[in-house]
Amino acid sequence: MTNDRLLYRRGILQLVASGFFLSTSGIALRIIEQANSWQILFYRSIALSVTILLILVFQKRSRFFDEFRGLGWNDFLLAVFLGTGFVAYVFALLHNTVANALFIFSCAPFIAGFLGWILLGERVATRTWYAIGVAMVGLAVMVISELTVSHYLGTMLALWIPISYAASIIAVRRSKRDNMLVALCLAGIVAGGLSAIFVTDYALTSRDLIISLYLGVFQVGVGFTLVVLGSRYVPAAQVGLLALVEPILAPVWAWMGVGEVPGTATIVGGTIIFLAIFSDGILNIKSSDSQSA
């Protein structure tokens, strides 16, 4: 098997694993006691940046500071898009139904595929477009019964999530760096700086502080580290498609954590999405194997 094939498969595994961590945000936010949105964002963002700094120190050792000296405009673009996306994500979940937020986020594969085609010249395989379409049907089945137009603020904020996510994928894929972790660290600083402007009280209950730190270290820290690493080796459209692992798993954690039993529509829709992602992955791997044979 060629090195490119190994990297591609590793990228797929990293992106699927990222969905596992990212999908825990909904349940974590549901069990917050008193903290408001800006407080959660501040501690989440600080924990994210510290986590990425520690990863960079572990990876680069004495060359740690070289990562920051080599920053370019592409890194700053990713930091701004991803940092503002972090802010929009938390507010969208807190000021909207989870169903609405996930439905809007589902636009990410289309946006990522379009931007990858326009900016990077990445041809999107017909089978991947079909898989994206089928996945959208599955997500629509999951949320159609819960859609509402009453959460205007949450809906407007949620619109930025797929745009920022797709733009971040493009920034990663066009970068010449080995990885974009330093830009992810800056994204945490961007989100933390924005939230610090609006935080009026930094005191949290022990429970809320632990949850906020978990969100920073594991949910976005580990989750987006895997996104940044995996996106280097997987076409943008497929990265967006694999991102839908998150809305598949989110209702599972809500069911296990706070007893929110998923309805029939959620189960059916999640199954459709899973089959679309799984089929596209298998077909792409087989196609690549046949081309390299």
pLDDT digits (tens, 9 = 90+) for 153-188: 666 777 788 888 888 888 888 877 777 888 899 999
Structure tokens at 185: 């660290």
**217 pLDDT more than 70:** yes
- Whether pTM > 0.85 for this model: the answer is no
Residues 75, 73: Cα–Cα separation, whole Å: 5
Closest CA to 239 of 141, 137, 165, 142: 165
Residues 54, 221: Cα–Cα separation, whole Å: 11
Please compute the mean of the pLDDT values over residues 87-110 and round it to a whole number: 72
Torsion-angle region of residue 121: left (phi > 0), alpha (psi -120 to 50) or beta? left
Q: Which pLDDT value is given to residue 3?
A: 77
Residues 87, 92: Cα–Cα separation, whole Å: 9
pLDDT digits (tens, 9 = 90+) for 2-38: 677 788 889 989 999 999 998 888 788 888 889 988 9
**128 pLDDT more than 70:** yes
State the sign of the Cα–Cα–Cα–Cα dihedral 40, 45, 46, 52: positive
Backbone φ, ψ for residue 261 (5° rounding): -70, 120
Q: Where are the domains of the chain?
A: 3-292
Local confidence band at 51 (pLDDT 50, 70, 90 cut-offs): very high
